[in-house]
Amino acid sequence: MRSTIEKIGVTGWALRCSLHGLVANENDRSLIEDMQRRHDEHCTGEKKPDQE
């Protein structure tokens, strides 16, 4: 199950998963992207290579 990143408010970002609901809420998009990668690996069991 892939999670999605949604824009909330002016500077906020939310990480949502259809299985787990709201996973995280941060102002820093890069933090949310890291959380999304880790969450999706956990939720789907798929490992993705780190992006440089």
Give per-residue pLDDT as tens, 4-52. Answer: 999 999 999 999 998 889 999 999 999 999 999 999 988 877 766 555 4
Contact assessment for residue 22 and residue 32, using Cβ atoms and an 8 Å cutoff:
no
- Residue 44's pLDDT is 78
End-to-end CA distance of the chain: 24
